[in-house]
Amino acid sequence: MDFTRLRLLVELERLGTMAAVSEVTGMSTSAVSKHFSVLEKEAGVPLLAPDGRRVRLTPAGRRLAEHAVDILARVEAAQAEFEGEGAPVGRVDLVMYTSAAPIVLPALRRLRNDHPGIDIHLTEYESEQALDLLQDGEADLGVVYQYSLLPRRFPGILTVYPMGTESLLLSQPSRGADSRILTRRRLRELSDAAWIASPFRGDEEALVHRMCADAGFTPRIVHRIDTLELFEELVATGMGVGVVPRLSTTTRRGIAHAPVGELGGVRQVYLAGRTGGWAWCPIRVVASYLRRAAEDVLDDVPPLPF
């Protein structure tokens, strides 16, 4: 079967419509449709079925899409192995979330000195958007996260490796604050507090709701703030409380932090990339430097499998 047509099938499984496949591939809708007609002849079974004005994959189509993910990953791996021979040279597009800077920046400084042939292009995005970039081939490697109590469903065409964990803290005004591990009883004392959440990270707000529900109340999300400085100003002046990862905290006067413990779990950090891309030497080198930098700031850092 033609690899182009298999890629189109994978995109249809992911995106759901011919129009969306046409948009991401740059092909016309009619050209996409013709490719699927040929693919059905090659497969010998119906792969698509009408669904109103759209089409849907038949069970055989879904199964072939699953095989196609593995087939294409193996093709990418073979190509990457050939291209990765010799010294690590080439461009690596790296996407990261903001508070991963204590991991990423030291790694990039070391890379620049040790492997000047690797050209890093850095993009800042939240993990949900980063995963989209990785799927679409617009990034090669990503530093992403999930909350242990709210696991993500990572896309099948990506391979992720755990890079460590980061504790979560309750940020609160320092006056009268208790910095011991948070308990349900102490959390209930904040049932009337104004809570702060991000306007862009829905999982952060979901975590606050889950923690407070565990303590028996619904939090009042009053402020939706994404800037750390403004977040800290609100907390320091007694206008709100919120949950922050440890790497995002500072020692600003007027703020106290308490570990959330089992009520909030931890933030789990991962390296993510397209399955076939991991065989390429520059990506593996960048990953190894990121992992080494993670040892200085994260907990429970495991070895990479390569």
Residue 216 corresponds to which tokens in the numbers above?
Answer: 């028996």
pLDDT in tens, 234-244: 999 999 999 99
Closest CA to 140 of 306, 280, 305, 14: 280
Provide the pLDDT for residue 206: 96
Q: CA 189, CA 183: separation in Å to the nearest integer?
A: 10
CATH number reported for the structural domain that contains residue 40 in this entry: 1.10.10.10
Provide the pLDDT for residue 88: 82
Residue 249 Ramachandran class (φ > 0 left, ψ -120 to 50 alpha, else beta) = beta
Same domain for 79 and 99, yes or no, is no
CATH number reported for the structural domain that contains residue 98 in this entry: 3.40.190.290
Query: Is 116 in a helix, a strand, or coil?
Result: coil
Domain count, the chain: 2
Same domain for 28 and 139, yes or no, is no
pTM (predicted TM-score): 0.78
Q: CA 106, CA 271: separation in Å to the nearest integer?
A: 16
Residue type, 138: E
Same domain for 69 and 120, yes or no, is no
Last residue of a domain, one of 32, 58, 83: 83
Same domain for 133 and 49, yes or no, is no
Same domain for 151 and 23, yes or no, is no
Q: CA 17, CA 53: separation in Å to the nearest integer?
A: 10
Provide the pLDDT for residue 232: 96
Same domain for 60 and 201, yes or no, is no
Q: Which residues of the chain have pLDDT under 70?
A: 80-86
Same domain for 124 and 216, yes or no, is yes
Find the radius of gyration of the CA atoms of the chain: 23
Same domain for 96 and 79, yes or no, is no
Provide the pLDDT for residue 75: 83
Residue type, 197: A
pLDDT in tens, 25-71: 999 999 999 999 999 999 999 999 988 888 999 999 999 999 999 89
Residue 237: domain span: 88-305
Provide the pLDDT for residue 220: 97
Same domain for 142 and 283, yes or no, is yes
Provide the pLDDT for residue 238: 95
Same domain for 34 and 138, yes or no, is no
Same domain for 129 and 237, yes or no, is yes
Q: CA 257, CA 130: separation in Å to the nearest integer?
A: 29
Provide the pLDDT for residue 53: 80
Query: Is 241 in a helix, a strand, or coil?
Result: strand
CB 146 within 8 A of CB 202: no
Last residue of a domain, one of 83, 106, 134: 83
Query: Is 225 in a helix, a strand, or coil?
Result: coil
Same domain for 71 and 211, yes or no, is no
Last residue of a domain, one of 83, 102, 118: 83
Query: Is 274 in a helix, a strand, or coil?
Result: strand
